[in-house]
Amino acid sequence: MTSSGSQLGPDVLADLLCAMLAVNNLPLEDTVALHPALEREGLFDLPRLSRMAVPELFAALRRAGYPKSDYVTGLVANWLHATASALAADQGRRLAGLLASGPSDELDRYLLSLKGVGTVVLRNFKILREASA
């Protein structure tokens, strides 16, 4: 278990979050460039992230320099809130276990079940995980 009380390492959460932020024509590279600011905002700490309300997430994204409109930032804040809540329900154990087993249809199905994760986010997450390996 990581020191933050989650089974997920901060790199997994960072990759998922960056993949989720790369929406509406925002390149994945641009979201990765926000990594230090997102980390300063505590967005890669699952217990902390899961306790943040949507307005707090919105404000944290803004402080981190997320460049999308208020509408898109609000949508993303809602997605992050829902996804963090789902992951925190088991301290990230299911996702950690699926990742440890390697790429699979089951992993893809699980990720796609998370609010805000569609095929583009899934593809971006896989790109980031491969780069981390």
Q: Which tens digits make up the pLDDT trace of 26-67?
A: 999 999 999 999 999 999 999 999 999 999 999 999 999 999
Residues written for the chain: 133
48 in any annotated domain: yes
Looking up residue 103, the CATH number of its domain turns out to be: 1.10.340
Kind and range of the H or E run holding 21: helix 10-21
DSSP state of 27: -
29 in any annotated domain: yes
24: Cβ contacts below 8 Å, ≥ 6 apart: 68, 72
**pTM (2 d.p.):** 0.89
93 in any annotated domain: yes
What's the domain count of the chain? 1
4 in any annotated domain: no
For the stretch 62-96, pLDDT in tens is 999 999 999 999 999 999 999 999 999 998 899 99
- Residue 65, domain extent: 10-132
CB contact at 8 A, 50 and 84: yes
